[in-house]
Amino acid sequence: MDIKTTNTIFYCRQWKETVFFYKTQLGLTVTCAHPWFVEFTLNGASRLSIADEARTSMDGIGGKGITLTLEVDDIEEAHRYLSEVGLNPPPIREHAWGARVIHIYDPEGNRIEFWSPAIQAP
């Protein structure tokens, strides 16, 4: 089996607000859009889709038990960007597993973790 891409789908009650969040505030590129479903490109092999729960056969979970983890090159730059677009990220945290992280939440309550490796001292 050769998996070419991955796609995570969030089924949302607050569909319009959640699409706005990913498209406008996070600035993700739309791969395809339908009146009830929008797919965004995360990178060459990863996608994130937002589906209107009211128009699908799947129920959303309201952000319970989900963390979308996104590795970025520069966590400081990610923090600045999130601040500039009005998302008010908390301070960057140092994790024992060797990463610097920021957690924010989309309108549906899904946790989004931005992280980059902590710089190790020589």
Residue 74 is assigned to a structural domain of this protein: yes
If asked whether residues 81 and 118 sit together in one domain, one would say yes
CATH number, domain containing residue 9: 3.30.720.120
Q: Is residue 120 pLDDT above 60, yes or no?
A: no
Domain that holds residue 40: 1-53
**Residues comprising the chain, all counted:** 122
**Structural domain contains residue 60:** no
CATH number at residue 105: 3.10.180.10
Q: Could you read off the pLDDT of 16-34 as tens digits, one per residue?
A: 999 999 999 999 999 999 9
Indicate if the pLDDT at residue 119 is higher than 90.
no
Q: What is the pLDDT of residues 55-105, one digit of tens each?
A: 998 888 888 889 999 999 999 999 999 999 999 999 999 988 899 999 999
Please state, in angstroms and rounded to a whole number, the distance separating the CA atoms of residues 115 and 119. Answer: 12
DSSP 6-42: EEEEEEESSHHHHHHIIIIIS-PEEEEEETTEEEEEE
Residues 89, 82: Cα–Cα separation, whole Å: 6
> And the tokens for 47?
């996608």
CA 106 – CA 83 distance, rounded (Å): 14
How many domains does the chain fold into? 2
